[in-house]
Amino acid sequence: MGSRKKVLVSGASSGIGRATALRFAEEGWDVCVNARRQALLEELVAEMPLGNHIVCAGDYSDPAVASAVGTAIEDNWGRLDAFVNSAGVSMGADAIESPFEVWRAPFDLMVNGAVYLTRVAVPLMGDGGRVIHITSIHGERTEVGASAYAMAKAALNQYCRALATELAPRGILVNAVAPGFVRTPMSVKDDGTNELDTEWFRVNYVDGQHLPLRRAARPEEIAGVCFFLAGPDSSYITGQVITVDGGLTITF
């Protein structure tokens, strides 16, 4: 197993992170999976082709958890080839009237978690290492109630650009993937309805003109872009935000 490539995937218990972890495992990589729910990570690893996989459950925005992830990788593998940060939370709050702590919770979780795990991952990488953050089209666009979420995604886009400049001398490439609509558990609202199955989505995006491909992405379609960015064919791409949105952001 020593020659197999190694990847850390956060947010691996569901959605894009889960699909990404499976894709890398199916391509012959060893995968370290991180998310809060241990049982779901165990189920995921049981689905993977056999490998020297690692389960590291915990909240990635807790620096102690991030440190434990780094220790597990160092002890088991001794190195890392790629880090895909797919962890994220969907939490809305009024930009003016919500309690400040409530408003900034998604910002703190996503930005702090990304930074903590990046600081753990990069020292384990050599020349050719890859850092990939899943952000969102919300990094450049937004909707009512999503100011902190959008600011967090915009911050991560800029973090990738800044990291790309600092890590280039070490041969480490850093990029972001910004999805649009993706059919994941994050599409399910608090009342149990999936926004992708609503009349609003059908009228605006399936029957309307706002989404040229007229459907949400499958998580595997985002995972494929992540795998490309971790591979040899992306060796001259760094500091970029790759939008994967079915054409959503080219319309008006």
DSSP E strand stretches across 75-196: 82-85, 130-134, 173-179
- Residue reference for tokens 């699909």: 19
Nearest-angstrom CA–CA distance, 132 and 76: 22
Nearest-angstrom CA–CA distance, 239 and 242: 10
Nearest-angstrom CA–CA distance, 66 and 73: 11
CB contact burial 12-21 (16+ within 10 A = b; e otherwise): bbbbbbbbbb
Active-site annotation holder among 60, 116, 149, 205? 149
Q: What is the dihedral of CA 211, 106, 11, 62, to 10 degrees?
A: 170
CB contact burial 113-148 (16+ within 10 A = b; e otherwise): bbbbbbebbbebbeeebbbbbbbbbbbebbeeebbb
Token pair belonging to 205: 């995006």
| 149 flagged as catalytic | yes
Nearest-angstrom CA–CA distance, 83 and 118: 8
Q: Give catalytic residues, as residue numbers.
A: 149
